């Protein structure tokens, strides 16, 4: 029995024969490598300049990677690459993360032209890495204050769109009335816009001038201004919680390094 001839298949584009020798080399600077970091970010984290300023330095041809001058924007480097600026080798600083139980009388800044006491003095024995406070607590406010040299995390914790959770214990000059309690609970209009706390409670076992407040806003002096707008004076303001970190086992003025677990929690939930 004669078999049927199969019909003619439509023409298909021919595959080019594989030739490893002629294949184009893939750039070493690939986006898929999780260890790669942008060169401008590397420079910024090394304390050379801000990212924007680092771009200008790269364009000017002042940065070398493994002996080659790099002027390409977006270029990425590996942790093992040798990076030089103006002929001098630079390295990224080791990331550090600390928490301080801030006492009264210290301002939250790295330097003060009026020579007032700063929170940096309380961490003077923290080692050689540079670091800075995450956000601010005013001079009279006490409690949880974080420090790091991880710029990305600091930005995430303080940026309005993320809003790290904060819990404050507030002491007032007089009892908070139920009417004002509900005003705060429902939301207030301040000079810089509306504000609504996540929660407000009278502190159990204490008089009604002791209030617990939970909020995400990082606006300047926001807790004090909430109560001042209703005619109260804040006599005590203590931040007991910030983005999952507390001041447990820390006396006023004491600090400690965060555990690896705490750091990972901040990065995931900050």
Work out the widest C-alpha separation in the chain, in whole angstroms.
108
DSSP for residue 244: T
The residues with which 102 forms a beta bridge, in sequence order, are 143
In a domain, 10, yes or no: no
pLDDT tens digits, the chain, 270 residues: what are they? 444 455 555 555 555 444 444 343 444 454 556 678 899 888 877 767 778 888 999 999 999 999 999 999 999 998 889 999 999 988 777 889 999 999 999 999 988 888 899 999 999 988 778 899 999 999 999 999 999 988 888 888 988 666 799 999 999 999 999 999 999 999 999 999 999 999 999 999 999 999 999 999 988 999 999 999 999 999 999 999 999 999 999 999 999 999 999 999 998 875
Looking at the structure, do residues 209 and 142 belong to the same domain, yes or no?
A: yes
Q: Which CATH number characterizes residue 124's domain? A: 3.30.2350.10
Looking at the structure, do residues 242 and 142 belong to the same domain, yes or no?
A: yes
Virtual torsion, Cα 143, 124, 119, 260, nearest 10 deg: -40
Radius of gyration over alpha carbons of the chain, in Å?
A: 28
In a domain, 14, yes or no: no
Task: Return the pLDDT at 14.
Answer: 54
In this structure, are residues 59 and 74 in contact, taking their beta carbons and an 8 Å threshold? Answer: no
Name which of 57, 80, 79 is nearest 70 in CA terms. 57
Active-site residue flag, 138: yes
In a domain, 26, yes or no: no
Task: Return the pLDDT at 7.
Answer: 52
In a domain, 252, yes or no: yes
Which runs of consecutive H residues, i.e. helices, occur in the chain? 39-45, 51-59, 151-158, 178-186, 222-228, 260-269
In this structure, are residues 133 and 173 in contact, taking their beta carbons and an 8 Å threshold? Answer: no
Looking at the structure, do residues 159 and 42 belong to the same domain, yes or no?
A: no
Could you list the residue range(s) of the whole structural domain that residue 61 is in? 37-90
Looking at the structure, do residues 226 and 151 belong to the same domain, yes or no?
A: yes
Looking at the structure, do residues 130 and 221 belong to the same domain, yes or no?
A: yes
Task: Return the pLDDT at 170.
Answer: 98
Q: Let me know the angle formed at the C-alpha of 213 by 171 and 219, rounded to the nearest 5 degrees.
A: 100
In a domain, 27, yes or no: no
Catalytic residue among 56, 112, 138, 192: 138
Q: Which CATH number characterizes residue 61's domain? A: 3.10.290.10
Residue 55's alpha-carbon distances to 31, 84, 146, 152, in angstroms, are 19, 14, 29, 17
Looking at the structure, do residues 184 and 247 belong to the same domain, yes or no?
A: yes
In a domain, 55, yes or no: yes
In a domain, 23, yes or no: no
Looking at the structure, do residues 104 and 84 belong to the same domain, yes or no?
A: no
263: number of Cβ within 10 Å: 19
Q: Tokens for 34?
A: 């999780």
Name which of 108, 111, 99 is nearest 140 in CA terms. 108
What total number of domains does the chain contain? 2
Half-sphere exposure of 83 (CA within 13 A, CB side): 26
Looking at the structure, do residues 118 and 148 belong to the same domain, yes or no?
A: yes
Looking at the structure, do residues 152 and 256 belong to the same domain, yes or no?
A: yes
Looking at the structure, do residues 146 and 237 belong to the same domain, yes or no?
A: yes
Looking at the structure, do residues 69 and 184 belong to the same domain, yes or no?
A: no
CA distance 90 to 110: 23
Check residue 200 and give left, alpha or beta (phi > 0: left; psi -120 to 50: alpha).
Answer: beta
Collapse the DSSP code of 195 into the 3-class scheme (helix H, G, I; strand E, B; otherwise coil) and give the result.
Answer: strand
Looking at the structure, do residues 137 and 216 belong to the same domain, yes or no?
A: yes
Domain termination residue (choose one: 53, 71, 90):
90
């Amino acid at each position: 029995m004669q078999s049927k001839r199969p019909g003619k298949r439509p023409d298909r584009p021919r595959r080019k024969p594989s030739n490893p020798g002629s294949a184009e080399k893939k750039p070493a600077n690939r986006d898929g490598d999780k260890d790669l970091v942008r060169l401008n970010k590397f420079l910024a984290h090394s304390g050379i300049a801000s990212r924007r300023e680092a771009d200008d330095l790269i364009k000017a041809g002042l940065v070398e990677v493994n002996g080659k001058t790099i002027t390409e924007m977006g270029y990425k480097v590996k942790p093992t690459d040798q990076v030089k600026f103006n002929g001098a080798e630079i390295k990224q600083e080791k990331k550090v993360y600390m928490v301080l139980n801030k006492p009264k009388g210290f301002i939250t800044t790295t330097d003060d032209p009026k020579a007032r006491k700063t929170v940096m003095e309380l961490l003077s024995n923290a080692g050689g890495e540079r670091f800075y406070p995450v956000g601010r607590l005013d001079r009279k406010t006490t409690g949880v204050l974080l420090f790091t040299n991880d710029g990305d995390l600091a930005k995430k914790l303080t940026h309005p769109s993320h809003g790290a959770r904060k819990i404050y214990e507030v002491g007032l000059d007089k009892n908070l009335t139920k009417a004002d309690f509900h005003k705060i609970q429902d939301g207030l209009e301040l000079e810089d816009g509306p504000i609504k706390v996540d929660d407000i409670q009278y502190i159990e076992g204490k008089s009604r001038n002791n209030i617990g407040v939970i909020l995400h806003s990082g606006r300047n002096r926001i807790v004090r201004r909430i109560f001042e707008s209703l005619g109260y004076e804040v006599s005590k303001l203590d931040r007991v919680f910030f983005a999952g970190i507390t001041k447990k086992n820390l006396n006023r003025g004491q600090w400690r390094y965060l555990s690896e677990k705490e750091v990972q929690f901040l990065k995931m939930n900050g």
